[in-house]
Amino acid sequence: MLGKKNRPPAEIPSSSMSDIAFLLLVFFLLVSNVDTDKGLGVVLPPPGDSEIKLNPKNITMVLINANGDVLFNEDVIPIDQITAHARQLEAGNPNMVFSVQTDRKTKYQDYIDVVDQLTAANVKKLALIGTQ
């Protein structure tokens, strides 16, 4: 008597497939960070100490000292008022150049605050002279 053997069907169980895929999906969703690099764009002046003669009327000096105090055209003003002042000057004179200078010990955050404020005022001509 030859009884047929009951063989289990050779198949990959597909019911759990989507669960596994889901798990992997969630893992990669969490792990992946779509790199978003955001920041303030500036263009540095070309190399060399090329002195460009500017009418002193067209220059606004913005000095930042080591404590983060801002001297804006010889007035000490709070950082959050720079935008308003810059807008005013820019409206009065479209050729205005804003020259930002810092102390060597100024914190980077203070500098970024000032550049941020000037960017918010849509300043087109930004001169970053560097440190004194």
Partner 1 sequence: MAIKKKSKPKAGIPTSSMSDIIFMLLIFFMAATSLKTVEGLKVKLPRARSIAKLDTPKQSVLFVFIDRTGNISIQDKLLNVEDVSEVIYPLRRNDNMLTISLRSDQETQMGMVSDVQNELRDASALKVNYSAKPK
Residue ranges binding partner 1 (CB under 8 A) = 14, 17-18, 21-22, 24-25, 28-29, 31-32, 34-47, 64, 102-109, 111-113, 115-116, 119-120, 128, 130-131
Dihedral-angle region of residue 34 (phi above 0 means left; psi in -120 to 50 means alpha; beta otherwise): beta
Q: Which is nearer to partner 1, 50 or 55 (CB)?
A: 50
Dihedral-angle region of residue 74 (phi above 0 means left; psi in -120 to 50 means alpha; beta otherwise): left
Q: Which is nearer to partner 1, 39 or 56 (CB)?
A: 39
Closest separation between CB of residue 9 and partner 1, Å? Answer: 19
The residue with tokens 């001297």 is 71
In DSSP terms, 126 is beta-bridged to 98
Closest separation between CB of residue 64 and partner 1, Å? Answer: 8
Q: Which is nearer to partner 1, 4 or 104 (CB)?
A: 104
Q: Which is nearer to partner 1, 6 or 15 (CB)?
A: 15
Contacts of 129 (CB under 8 A, 6+ apart): 99, 100, 101
